[in-house]
Amino acid sequence: MKLLTLFTAVLISVSMAGCANRGQNVIVNADQRLNHDFSNYKSFTWASQVDNQLDPGFYFLNDLVLKERIRNAVAFSLEGRGYNKVQQNADLIVNFRVFDKPTTIQGFTGYGSGYWGDLQVRNPENSKEFQVEAGTLIINLLDKNTGEVVWQGFASGLMDGNVFDKREDKIKQAVNLIFEKYPYRGDKLGS
């Protein structure tokens, strides 16, 4: 009987969590550099803007606690995928931004004119500006050697009324949803 009660409690909790996620209207998407080999990436470090300082561009809502919560959630997701956090000589540089107002970001449409040929590349004419909602968290992974963004994911709609939802559980949930779109690992597991 206790097992049935425990199972029912877990089922109710999972159902409520699913409803809460749908109620927030979070939109998640990701994009990556085409024909790029992610198997050589084993480690990551933070971009200088993601350190423990206040950002003069106000990309983190001038909130060091928020920056720390996002850093912790991103590190947890990447380490859970077999990547090692290192101080120097990392393969990937991680950067993120938070926007509490609607904004425009640069992205791509389709796969470019070479999609059906051997060169699956995106050309400059395939770039497009996208409007994102208030309450957007964008995570970029950059190749350390080239400085190019190789993967970008975002969650949009992280608002609590008219302000960015800074609660730790919501940040963890948003980062987790973003990294569900990242299919790579830094180790041999899952390969």
One-letter amino acid of 110: G
Task: Report DSSP state, residue 122.
Answer: -
Write down the H helix ranges in the chain: 2-24, 64-80, 168-179
Q: What is the model's pLDDT at position 34? A: 82
Q: Look up the pTM and report it.
A: 0.74
25-34, 47-56, 61-70, 161-170, range with greatest mean pLDDT: 161-170
Q: What is the mean pLDDT of residues 11-35?
A: 59
Q: Which two tokens stand for residue 134?
A: 């208030």
Task: Provide the pLDDT confidence category of residue 56 given band limits of 50, 70 and 90.
Answer: low
Query: Which of 41, 32, 8 is CA-nearest to residue 181?
Result: 32
Q: Is 169 helix (H, G, I), strand (E, B) or coil?
A: helix
Task: Provide the pLDDT confidence category of residue 132 given band limits of 50, 70 and 90.
Answer: confident
Beta-carbon count within 10 A of 25 CB: 12
Contact 35, 45 (CB under 8 A): no
Q: What is the model's pLDDT at position 184? A: 95
